[in-house]
Amino acid sequence: MYKKILSFGAVIAILDQIIKNIIVSNVAFADSIKVIKNFFYITNINNTGAAFGILQDGGIIFIILSIIALVGLIRYVIIDKNIVKLEAISYALVLGGILGNFIDRIMYGYIIDYLDFYFFGYNFPVFNLADMCMVIGFMIIIFNMFISKGETNEINISRRKK
């Protein structure tokens, strides 16, 4: 299973890099292209912080954290032989997201963000595919933890009744 997880994660990182290259080649820095007026724009910006622009100017700290996360996650998926499909998808999403942004940090010293949404007058922080994959992956992991915890509690309750 780990080969599929690592492969899917690599595909996500490669796709992320291809999209970023297209954005940088076609949209001037700090410019936007309107896709859906007052809702969705493609905006080329640089982000020295974490996902969605938080903790700006993290620099080497984010590189070190990315390396630790990548090594830890890769080690975990190689060692754990009981990973189910939903977990595999979530780990691949997180892995691909971390790797995609890590490549940016190493190559440029910042992350290229481009997805720019407005919701009811609020301009959501600009983000990219890697950010989106990490968030979705972590949401699946958290959701899966609650589902697994519920199943474990039901098993424990049924055992006590006997």
Active site residue 16: no
Q: What's the full length of the chain, in residues?
A: 162
Task: Determine whether 31 is an active site residue.
Answer: no
How far is residue 52's CA from residue 125's CA, in Å, rounded to a whole number? 5
Kindly name the residue from 16, 104, 113, 116 that is annotated as catalytic.
Answer: 113
Tell me the one-letter amino acid at 116.
D
Helices (H), 27-128: 60-79, 85-108
Q: Which of 16, 104, 116, 131 is catalytic?
A: 131
- Sign for the pseudo-dihedral over CA of 9, 10, 15, 17: positive
Bridge partner residues of 118 (DSSP): 123
Rounded CA-CA distance 100/79 in Å is 23
Task: Provide the 8-state DSSP code for 56.
Answer: T
Q: Containing H/E element for 54?
A: none
- Supply the residues annotated as catalytic: 113, 131
